[in-house]
Amino acid sequence: MFKLLSQNRGGIISLTLFLVCFGLYQFVQLPISLYPNTSKPVVELQLFYKQDMGQFMQFWGSKIEASLKNIKDVELVEGEYRQGEAVYYVHFDWSKDNDEAIRDVGSTAAFYQAQLSRELPPFKLKFYNPGSECYLVVESDSLSAVELSHVLANQLQPALNEIPGVSKSLVTEFGEKHISVQIDPLKAAEFKLKIHDVIDIVQMHEFDYALGSLSTLKNGKIALSVERGVKSLKQIEQITVGKILGREIKLKDIGEVVVAQSKMSRMLQLDGKNAVAVAVWPKPDANLYQVARDFFSVSENYVKDIGTITVLNDPSNFIGKAIIAVLYAILTGMAIAALSVLLFFRSFSKTLLVSLSMPFSLMGAGAIMYFSGVGINLLSLGAMSVSIGMVIDGAIVVVDNIYYHQKKQTGVGVFGATREVAPSILASVITTIIVFLPMAFTSPIASALLRDIAFVVVSIMLFSVFVNLVFLPVILSFLPNKPQTSAGVGRAVDRLLDGWANLYLWCLRQVLRYKVLQMCFAACVLGLGLYTAQLFPSIKQELIAQPEAEIIDVIVGFKKDGLEMEDRVQLAENVRQQIENEFSDKIKLAYTDIRTNAAYISLHLSSHEVFEQVFSQMQHSLQNTNDVDLEAVPWITSALAVPDYPALRLLVTGDSEQERRELLDNVQQHFKLLDPVSRVKITPNPRRTTKLALTLKQGALSQLFPLAEHKHIQQQLADYVGMAIEEKYLAQVELEGEKLMLYSQLGSELVHRVEAIGDLPFFYKNKVYHLRDLLDIQAIKQWERYYSRNTQPIYMAEVWLKSSSTATAQEVLETLYQTLPKDKAIPFIVDQPDLEVKQGIESLIKALLLAFCLVFLCVHFMFRRLLVAVIICAAIPFGILGALLALALFNSTLSLNSMLGIIMLCGVSVNNSIIFVDVYRRIASEFDNQIEAILAAAKMRFRAIMVTNLTTIAGLAPLAYGLGSSGKILQPLGISVTFGIAIATVFTMYLIPILLLYFMPLKKNSQDQQWQVTIAAN
């Protein structure tokens, strides 16, 4: 093959440049995102109901949850119930298609919607993916907040829905615009009309329906339909609701039809001033980067003439910064690696050629990435950063061997020198990429998250074989074949390297000669293993590292029900002012979203570097009051769509609802006071709300109505009171191209006081009664929310620990045990919240063992001797020990990323052994003394081994350091590989010679003489 290369050098250069340019072109076409598409579909279903909350949960809730759980590939169904509304979160597994997931949930929802009251609003369905939304706030000097909201909803929102990849859009409205049918109960009674009959007649005009088709001679079949849908307010007013003495009673005769604005239930403020929020949520498989760019571009075009924009969450900006940070790490690593090569070779031409292997291999793999569907994201770029050092290793070995023969003037040419090291380079590459084969047998979450890293590394390493063994020798063959001369700095570097090499060779000679030093070395190895084993339990486990938070959400829960908007605004503003006074120098802006029962204050910090300090202080400074409950939680922009598992989860038990709720509250208060605790969440919260209980006065009913009519009257009374206190949904209509909700209510003003309900007139069979004569109305307290999981009620406390804390979950739990009575059973069950994390890591541990076996088999196949394979693979445990030791010492985590790094070390850490053993076996027959043969091999390959490892470590150093807020994601991978290689290099430089001394004595036989031929054939 090398003879063929020497005869076609121009063609090889042209082919290489074409492949690199083609790969670069495909690389720039790759889609950009923060992460690969790794999300498990989670669909949020919102249903509305009229029944009592407890009755709905018992009768309908369990059925709905069971039906949702029976959908194919559903793992978990969570239910959240509050009065009048139920929200379900349907979690699918990793194999479920997103469109199929939302379609299956929609079919189940439609089935139950048809069985519920027709008067209820339609169900709502969307993907649940918090953290990925694109959010901005619009302010205007020329328009009020209400006017601005209306303009944006009608002009901007339709354009946002047309953006490819958008699942849902939002323009916050200050009161919903709708059509209100305001029925006067006295006028209805005057015409002897029942309210519920009037409502039924109005609802009949909601739909058009088809009659069939008429066959005609001229025009063929013509469709016939009855058009009953309303088209204007006038049409609604002209609906006939009854007749008296032949006269038609129109809807306008008993009430008014008006376009109304519902009472403001939500207010948005930016730094205390009213504003309008605009947002979109992408589909789970959408290109988040492109969706964000399109969203802000469209929004700016619409808003530029009417107001100004403040960006609250821009994933494209975060993704851009994160990508640039990793690219900077790649370029820095390449520059450091090139500088290391220059110091060792002291030749700009050779350094340039060796350095070209890095960008050429990266760009050449771009075409493979494009056709395989791998895009540009943090994980794929991290794989490129990891590959830098491994790519340049092969180039260094080739150039170093060519340089060696030129320096010694052995007469071996460029292609002959390349042929000598080709087997070891191929072995190194194969052992590096073969470790990724077990990834196919890991857990779905590990496979989904790490697929891109594995594929990119394999693609780059395969292309690097072509660059290092084909392209580089061809280019080097054009350079003058003369020994390298040293001058100036070169001589100084030579002296430094020679001194370093001589020191190593002297130490190695002593270790090989004296068994006591070998025993000391063995003791060091044993001590390192024991120390690492002692530190291992302290390494925290997580699924994958997340970016550092730059936003803190402060949840302000209102303790009183029915607060007017002005009161809610004032309570939220008081909290915002308190935070502003304490942390003004660390907060860029504060965005407040005020809703019915709570307000959410989003604090955008000046930098992610101040997060830990601000969050810790805020945990202690925010105290509950008589009016509000306060809770601070971190919010991560563009977080990876994997669960944020708590360190501790407790499932509370108890004999009664009251006992369980109180115990939850006590658990929360206990954990919030602990320093290692970052945040505590209890589900459900212990807050109560007020509801009205209507009780029929049986004595009055018995006197006024026959017993057989009591049930019918009770239902009419309930509907009547419901319309008096709240608008009743009738239908959705389209007027002049605008879709509006149609509601009905009693009178022009809704009742806001309990006492006023008794004054309402009730018409029944030509008689008018006051409700106070028929009903007892009592305000009672009930729990605000209920939760369930897979049809079972849930009472749960979840605890997250600070990333800087050294305390374990068990130690934190012990503090709670100490507060419990000794004579009573423990009133909770400790759950395993990180079960999926453990399953992912356990699957990677199995992959690690399988990777070790594959590397061993590969080495054994290539060298055809079991003993050689054992010696070479002896370096692997040192790489693993180094990685675990570094994770513990640098307070990093045992995550999927770091485990992948450890798996990669199985292939990378044997490279030094392969190079060392390769040289030793080639020159051993020339020596009579085995120690001298080992020292000669060490001297011959010391420079190559040191350069390859230093460049690999230098290339990974920026990744291990972790640049920017997103640097934490790939940092465990960088730490594990960097320090694993460093520790493995130091120990194997002594371990391999010792093993060679004892297990591979000099033998001058045919097998040793044919060894090199066997390797070359392989």
- Backbone phi and psi for residue 647, each to the nearest 5 degrees, phi listed first: -75, -25
Query: Residues near 28 by Cβ (< 8 Å), separated by ≥ 6?
Result: none
For helices 378-408 and 896-908, angle between their N-to-C axes, nearest 10 degrees: 20
Per-residue pLDDT at 1014: 40
Both tokens of 979, joined, read 């320090």
Angstrom CA distances, 683 to 233, 498, 539, 680, 817, stand at 46, 67, 29, 10, 20
The length of the chain in residues reads 1018
Quick check: 236 and 257 in contact, CB under 8 A?
yes
Task: Provide DSSP, 538-604.
Answer: GSEE-SS--PPP-EEEEEEEE-SSS--HHHHHHHHHHHHHHHHHHHGGGEEEEEEEE-SSEEEEEEE
pLDDT value for 510? 92
Kindly report the number of other CB atoms within 10 A of residue 738's CB atom: 11
How far from 848 is each of 161, 323, 438, 896, CA to CA, in Å? Answer: 46, 29, 8, 12
Taking only the tens place, the pLDDT of each residue in 7-53 is: 667 788 888 888 888 888 888 888 777 777 666 788 999 999 888 88
What pLDDT sits at residue 112?
Answer: 92
Q: Are 421 and 823 in contact (CB under 8 A)?
A: no
Cβ atoms 39, 641 nearer than 8 A: yes
Q: Which residue has the tokens 């050429």?
A: 360
Q: Which of 489, 352, 350 is nearest to 407 (CA)?
A: 350
Residues 6+ apart with CB under 8 A from 325: 963, 964, 966, 967
* Positive or negative: CA dihedral 195, 196, 198, 202: positive
Q: Tell me if 278 sits within 8 A of 171, measured CB to CB.
A: yes
Q: What is the CA radius of gyration of the chain?
A: 37
Whole-angstrom distance, CA of residue 381 vs CA of residue 388? 11
Tens-digit pLDDT profile for residues 76-110: 999 999 888 999 999 998 778 888 998 999 999 99
Q: Which residue has the tokens 């199929």?
A: 100
C-alpha 384/C-alpha 959 separation (Å) is: 11
Residue 29: phi and psi, rounded to 5, are -90, -5
CA 898/CA 875 separation, integer angstroms: 19
Predicted confidence at residue 819, as pLDDT, reads: 84
- Residues 6+ positions from 209 with CB-CB distance below 8 Å: 225, 226, 228
And the tokens for 406?
């030129």
> Which of 391, 214, 207 has the alpha carbon at shortest distance from 908?
391
**Residue 107 CB neighbours (<10 A):** 11
Nearest to 129 by CA among 254, 35, 7, 265: 35
Q: Per residue, what are the HEC states of 175-207?
A: CCEEEEEEECHHHHHHCCCCHHHHHHHHHHCCC
Buried b (16+ CB within 10 A) or exposed e, 723-735: bbbebbbbbebeb
Cβ neighbours for 705, distance < 8 A, ≥ 6 positions apart = 713, 764
Which among 647, 668, 649, 645 has a CA at the least distance from the CA of 828? 649
What's the rounded Cα separation, in Å, for the pair 1018 and 1012? 10
pTM: 0.73
Crossing angle of the two packed helices 348-364 and 315-345, in degrees rounded to 10: 150
The pair of three-digit structure tokens given for residue 508, joined into one six-digit string: 């190695």
Q: How far apart are CA 935 and CA 929, in angstroms?
A: 10
Alpha-carbon dihedral 441, 445, 449, 455, rounded to 10 degrees: 20
Q: Which residues in the chain land under pLDDT 70?
A: 1-8, 37-39, 130-131, 175, 205-231, 345, 440, 480-491, 493-494, 637-643, 735-738, 752-755, 832, 834-837, 963-967, 1003-1018
Separation of CA 854 from chain center: 32
H-only helix segments in 36-92: 53-56, 62-69
Nearest to 952 by CA among 385, 511, 165, 505: 385
CA 903 – CA 851 distance, rounded (Å): 7
Q: Which two tokens stand for residue 916?
A: 């060392």
For the record, the structure tokens of 147 come out as 């006017």
DSSP 32: B
Going by C-alpha positions, the residue among 258, 290, 464 that lies closest to residue 361 is: 464
797 CB contacts (<8 Å, ≥6 apart)?
649, 650, 652, 664, 667, 668, 671, 680, 681, 682, 683, 828
Distances, alpha carbon 450 to alpha carbons 37, 377, 386, 545, in Å: 11, 12, 13, 13
Distance CA 312, CA 292 (A): 12
Work out the angle between the directed axes of helices 315-345 and 378-408 (0-180°, nearest 10): 10
| Residue labelled with tokens 């580089």 | 472
Please report, in angstroms and rounded to a whole number, the separation of the first and last CA atoms in the chain: 14
- CB-CB contact of 325 with 385 (8 Å): no
- Strand-pair category, 738-746 with 792-793: unpaired
DSSP string, 413-468: -HHHHHHHHHHHHHHHHHHHHHTTGGGGGS-HHHHHHHHHHHHHHHHHHHHHHHII
Structural domains for the chain: 1-30+319-481+492-544+838-999 (1.20.1640.10), 177-210+226-261+690-783 (3.30.2090.10), 554-582+603-634 (no CATH)
Torsion of CA 375, 378, 383, 386, to 10 degrees: 150
The answer to whether the CB of 616 falls within 8 A of the CB of 632 is: no
pLDDT of residue 1017: 36
User: Which uninterrupted H or E stretch holds 992?
Assistant: helix 967-999
- Name the burial class of residue 893, with classes exposed (0-12), middle (13-18) and buried (19+) by CB atoms within 10 angstroms of its CB: buried
Give the residue from 569, 547, 550 showing the smallest Cα distance to 558: 569
